[in-house]
Amino acid sequence: MSRESLDARGLLCPLPVIRTQNAVKDLAPGTVIEVLCTDPGALLDIPAWCRVHGHRVLETNRGETHISIVVEVGAQ
């Protein structure tokens, strides 16, 4: 299984979701992508986007300096 990373730190809503969407469209189903961001709204926005588009959130972590959201790409 492939693992990718997307750095969306410093971007405000809706940019973390848009950048995630743009990155995911080029990835094969089953690929795992870790999105790093600083906008706390992404903790709601990215999982909601995943539900609508058939992707799965594997993990969310809120650290001192950033948020990490790990997504498994679904069939597109």
Q: Which of these is catalytic: 11, 13, 32, 70?
A: 13
Residues whose CB falls within 8 Å of the CB of residue 30, separated by 6 or more in sequence, listed in order:
1, 2, 72, 73
Active site residue 50: no
**Which run of H or of E encompasses 5?**
strand 3-8
Residue 13, both tokens: 């809503």
Just list the catalytic residues.
Answer: 13
